[in-house]
Chains A and B, each alone.
Chain A
Amino acid sequence: GAGVSQTPSNKVTEKGKYVELRCDPISGHTALYWYRQSLGQGPEFLIYFQGTGAADDSGLPNDRFFAVRPEGSVSTLKIQRTERGDSAVYLCASSPSGLVANEQFFGPGTRLTVL
């Protein structure tokens, strides 16, 4: 079956612009996670959805970042007024549920470059 997909695979934008990054989770997975991976670092948690609601958004760095999952499937990470420091690989993962013992399945990521 299909895994987690993310689009676009690469996004280059200019400082100050708005971007949207899309994640298509594995069908039937209720839990969805966003992480950010900067160069030379491990992934850092951004936000967790259980169904349509953001159960934990404590990892979002500031109010320029926002994510939605309106129908409990596809999720979009939105970044306003992008800054050069936002350049990173944004990873999405999904899981059958949020239980700690469940495996998170990761997508290939979107590489965001802010010029």
Chain B
Amino acid sequence: AQSVTQLGSHVSVSEGALVLLRCNYSSSVPPYLFWYVQYPNQGLQLLLKYTTGATLVKGINGFEAEFKKSETSFHLTKPSAHMSDAAEYFCAVSDDQTGFQKLVFGTGTRLLVSP
């Protein structure tokens, strides 16, 4: 069975600092990997995804993530945090064995950005 582990339920950074949110996955087949962001009282929004091809994936709002098969990781980074980045971030994994996109989510990491 697939699973996702997000290290750190809360991450605090200062505005302008590097953002690093960690995600490790478990999958017996080549995974598809996703990062979603959830702002208060809003739905989940896709930040970026890895399906095949280039392992460094760029997403919206300046975020990027790198798929590292040897480390079973898909960490999310942003060079310089903005106050507007404060939200909850979810890593998710899927594969094509079920024939559709059945997402398995991690427990989430809340990003706090201080001035």
Contacts and interface: CB of A to CB of B under 8 A. Distances in A.
A107 interface: yes
A25 interface: no
Interface in B75-115: 90, 92, 94-96, 98-108
Contacts of A50: 100
B46 A98 contact: no
B45 interface: yes
Contacts, number: 71
A108 interface: yes
Per DSSP, are chain B's interface residues mostly helix, strand or loop, or mixed? loop
Interface of A: 3-4, 31, 33, 35, 40-45, 48, 50, 55-56, 91, 93, 95, 98-109
11 contacts: A42-B108, A56-B98, A98-B100, A99-B100, A101-B49, A103-B49, A104-B46, A106-B36, A106-B44, A106-B45, A108-B41
Interface of B: 4, 9, 32, 36, 41-46, 49, 51, 90, 92, 94-96, 98-108
